Amino acid sequence: MAASAVGTRHTAIEVRSTQAPVRVTAVASVAVRDLLTVPGTATVLGASDYAAWLLVGDTVIVISTRDATRLPNAVEMAANSTDGPLGVLNHGEAVEIGVGRVAFGGLTVRVARWWDPVPVLPTVTPEQLGTAIQGFPAAVPTIEAATLRDALVVWSPAAFIAAAEPHIGRGPGLTPEGDDYMAGVIAGVRTLSRSLCHRPAIEMLDQCALPMTLIADARTTTFSAALIRHALRGEVAEPAGAFLRALTGRGDITQSHARLQSVGHSSGPALAAGIVCAAEALIQDNSDSDRSQT
């Protein structure tokens, strides 16, 4: 789990001690827009100084401060963790959501604008992507990536699912390292295959979406399973999106890779390595793949 999403508790915003309502604007992911449209309630799964995780049906919305990592399912408040906006939330508490706002503990967070967690990537050649990923690791020490990479190269849904399943839920924490790595692989395949116009990879991932969702729901945490579902749609945390854009020529590759690796104790490095693994597989079979515009 990202280090910026945990922290020690402190006293909530001072104005919260009065009965006067406090309103904060926010920027929210379009991935959770439908969840914030219809009035309803969510349940607090957990909270820290930096973020609160809200269960809505079978998925999760993250209410975060602007000094936290912006996740693909985030509603990012115009407030810092030091302001203490999330200090009043407790596990199991009900939170009001809907009509573009979230309300709890005398605080109303209202969405002022939206952001898209799917990075927009230009068309690139396999040679360009191969040059971009040179020198970056395609695995982390605890992940055996060879079987997964071999499964990716043949673009077989059955082979990919068999190779991916052992990684799901592997490791401690709210987002186990195996999940973060697989989220990187999945999001890398989804976004970079479009950039490369690699139809076999796109079709494989479409066929794997439901089985991977069911595996994640059964094997890992609710929050982590939600992030894998976002990855299947190409929706990623903002630092991962910046790295993907840089790999396709829009940004500084070294800086964006370093920034992504700095996320959490293991989340960032695993995400980055998973993206590179996906890129390696996509360019490895470029001479044999049937590529066409999608």
* Contacting residues for 278 by C-beta, under 8 A, at least 6 apart: 152, 184, 185, 186, 187, 188, 189, 192
Percent of the chain scoring above 90 in pLDDT: 81
What is the domain extent for residue 82?
Answer: 3-115
Segment 11-69, tens digit of pLDDT: 333 434 445 568 999 999 999 999 999 999 999 999 999 999 999 999 999 999 999 99
User: Is residue 19 domain-shared with residue 133, that is, in the same domain?
Assistant: no
Pair of tokens at residue 262: 């700095």
User: Is residue 136 domain-shared with residue 111, that is, in the same domain?
Assistant: no
pTM: 0.90
User: Is residue 222 domain-shared with residue 156, that is, in the same domain?
Assistant: yes
Residue 168: left (phi > 0), alpha (psi -120 to 50), or beta? beta
User: Is residue 138 domain-shared with residue 105, that is, in the same domain?
Assistant: no
Residue written as tokens 């005398």? Answer: 106
- Mean pLDDT across the chain: 90
What pairs with residue 63 in β-bridges? 52, 75
Q: Is a pLDDT exceeding 90 seen at residue 289?
A: no
pLDDT value for 2? 43
Report the pLDDT averaged over residues 100-124.
95
pLDDT value for 87? 79
User: Is residue 257 domain-shared with residue 130, that is, in the same domain?
Assistant: yes
CA terminus-to-terminus distance, the chain: 34
- Is residue 157 in some structural domain? yes
Pair of tokens at residue 97: 């959501």
d(CA 181, CA 140): 8
